Amino acid sequence: MIIILSSETSEQQIDNLTQHIESLGLTPHLSVGTFRTIIGVIGDESKIDADQLSAYPGVSSVVPILPPYKLASLDAHPQASVVEVGGVKIGGGHLCMISGPCSIESAEGLDAIASAVVQSGANILRGGAYKPRTSPYAFQGMGIDGLKILREVGNQYTVPVVTEVTDPRNVEVVSEYADMLQIGARNMQNFVLLTEVGKCGKPVLLKRGMSATITDLLMSAEYVLAAGNPNVILCERGIKSFESATRNLYDVAAVAAIKTLTHLPIIVDPSHATGRPDIIPACAYAGLAAGADGVHIEVHDHPEKAFSDGPQALSPSEFAATFKKLEEIARVFGGTF
């Protein structure tokens, strides 16, 4: 950590600071320049609070050297993490294709969609049982009945299943039925929920909040890791912007940027990022090219009848064609589904 002092800092203020640093078991290194003095702090940065230091009289700014997400950072773990979801490996060249409807609507409906997407190459089935909806009057999901359907259909097609958990009180029941727990964009900073899924041990698919920075996303991952669960997969699903041509702004650059910061796998969700079936395939390809460890695409066999997110669903045949190309792109970039 580097402390930059303001130009009028007094000797007494510098003494106060160095004493504080030494009292924490750290070593201050004073460097006196013509206009400014800086103090380099040597030792375990986690022992010192940058905000507290900034509040000391005479301090102009504090520059941490290490990122605040210690467990998620590449410094902590220089190799790519491989997360296993019901036997499917994700990360380090292993790619996942998560597909299925936005919501679980019926056993027959999910069966038909699952049959199609698994046949086309999806290796993880998705479906929401607890839906975070903007309107309280919109379909809220089938709850536990939906979880049971998802588990049965997953077993039938021998694919792991992922579904969203929106409430800390449901973490136990969702982890009973699902192979991976999704934390949705709206709950990315629900810290109680993050700690709860951190304690449950099941892999967690952590979606980026729609107003979250990359640091915010990694700090949320840190909550899950700090609670003892190393199995976190990040997901870029678009952020808010002034652009109205797409549902959200697909931040594909974040994928490449995140790869330089963390060992955790990251996948892309061009369905929620764009909301547009006509451009979802192109955005999925771009995600893999940017270094994503997998893709998440919503599929429905009757989008016009879907209970949620129908307008952004790919048809099973569109999905099949998209996945074929994704496999080709994966070959170019050295990954395998």
- Residue 207 near which of Mn ion, ligand PEP, none (CB within 5-8 Å, type-dependent): ligand PEP
Nearest-CA neighbor of 45 among 28, 64, 29, 59?
64
Supply 283's token pair.
């955005």
C-alpha 60: how far from its chain's center? 34
Strands 161-164 vs 96-100: parallel, antiparallel or unpaired: unpaired
230 binds, among Mn ion, ligand PEP, none (CB under 5 to 8 A by kind): none
x-marked contacts with ligand PEP along 39-78 as a string, rule CB under 6 A: ----------------------------------------
Residue 91's binding partner among ligand PEP, Mn ion, none (Cβ under 5 to 8 angstroms by kind) is: none
Cα separations in angstroms, 182 against 12, 153, 232: 53, 18, 10
Q: Can you tell me the distance from the alpha carbon of 119 to that of 334, in angstroms, rounded to the nearest whole number?
A: 23
One residue of 5, 102, 306, 313 binding ligand PEP per CB under 6 A: 102
CA distance 219 to 11: 37
227 CB burial (10 A radius; 0-12, 13-18, 19+): middle
Closest-CA residue to 162 (of 114, 109, 213): 114
Number of residues that bind ligand PEP (CB under 6 A): 9
The CB-of-19 to ligand PEP minimum distance in angstroms stands at: 48
Nearer to ligand PEP, 100 or 335 (CB): 100
DSSP 216: H
CB of 177 to ligand PEP, least distance (A): 17
Residues numbered 254 to 273 that lie near ligand PEP (CB under 6 A) are: 272
Nearest distance, CB of residue 242 and ligand PEP, angstroms:
19
> Under the criterion CB under 6 A, does residue 146 sit at the interface with ligand PEP?
no
Q: How far is the CB of 252 from Mn ion (least distance, A)?
A: 19
- For residues 128 and 281, which CB has a smaller minimum distance to ligand PEP in the complex? 128
CB-count burial class (<10 Å; 0-12, 13-18, 19+) for 329: middle
**Binding-site partner at residue 174 among ligand PEP, Mn ion, none, CB < 5 to 8 Å by type:** none
Q: In terms of C-beta density within 10 A (0-12 exposed, 13-18 middle, 19 or more buried), how is residue 189 classed?
A: middle
| Closer Cβ to ligand PEP, 18 or 307, answer by number | 307
Minimal distance, residue 126 CB to ligand PEP, in Å? 7
Residues near Mn ion (CB under 5 A) are: 102, 309
Chain residue whose CB lies nearest Mn ion:
102
Q: Using alpha carbons only, what angle is made at residue 131 by residues 296 and 316, rounded to the nearest 5 degrees?
A: 40
Interface residue with ligand PEP, options 100, 109, 128, 154 (CB under 6 A): 128
User: Among residues 12 and 106, whose Cβ is nearest to Mn ion?
Assistant: 106
Site for ligand PEP in 173-212 (CB under 6 A): 184-186, 207
Match 């609670």 to its residue by tokens.
227
Q: How far is the CB of 308 from ligand PEP (least distance, A)?
A: 7
Question: Nearer Cβ to ligand PEP, position 18 or 163?
Answer: 163
**In the chain, what are the helix, strand and coil shares in percent, each to the nearest 5?**
40, 20, 40
Q: Which residues contact 221 (CB under 8 A, 6 or more apart)?
A: 69, 72, 206, 232, 234, 262, 264
Give contact residues for ligand PEP (rule: CB under 6 A).
102, 128, 132, 184-186, 207, 237, 272
